[in-house]
Amino acid sequence: MNKPQKIILCAVVFIFLIPALSCAGQFKVIRVTEGDTLEAESGGYTVTVRLVGIDAPETSKEKGQAGQPFSQKSRTHLMRLVLDKVVEVDGYGLDRYSRVLGIAYVDGKNVNLEMVKEGLAEVYRGPPAKGLEMEPYRQAEAEAKKAERGMWSLGDKYVSPREWRRMNR
């Protein structure tokens, strides 16, 4: 196969792959890396899913370094919700790291929303994914803040994951 043929083949595969990643599918969760990121597999393929609409406290990328407060609790809670379970993923495209942006459902329950309700993730502060209804997330965050659940118990010492990443680059 010559170079132009390879380019055309890659383009065709890419065109058909992107819509497939944007629609719903069932996956078995094999790993939770952060309170807002998981790896799942289906049909021999592994995908990384970034839970859309939320931002969880950051774990440390350096061995022996402490992560953001509540980062381990957030990750552990997500593990309890999804690890080794089959999840339904509604996709909203890909992020800049080629992760699927998605809502994960276990037994019909929106896992992304559950993380916010427990005070273990905040509403994502950047532009929302196209078509994602953000109001339920905002309401859940307001309720978690008022009840001082999870990371909201830190009060004035709370730093958003977005700000924490900026300060720790």
Verify whether residue 50 is a known catalytic residue.
yes
The tokens describing 75, both together, are 């990750």
* Alpha carbon distance 148, 143 (integer Å): 8
Catalytic residue, from 34, 75, 99, 114: name it: 99
Verify whether residue 162 is a known catalytic residue.
no
Region for 61 from its dihedrals, namely left if φ exceeds 0, alpha if ψ lies in -120 to 50, beta otherwise: alpha
Phi, psi (degrees; rounded to nearest 5) at 23: -110, 175
Catalytic residue, from 58, 114, 122, 141: name it: 58
* Alpha carbon distance 56, 151 (integer Å): 10
Using only C-alpha atoms, what is the Rg of the chain?
A: 17
Q: Is-contact 53 128, C-beta < 8 A? A: yes
Catalytic residue, from 34, 50, 118, 122: name it: 50
* Alpha carbon distance 26, 88 (integer Å): 4
Q: Is-contact 167 159, C-beta < 8 A? A: yes
Verify whether residue 75 is a known catalytic residue.
no
For the annotated catalytic residues, the residue numbers are: 50, 58, 99
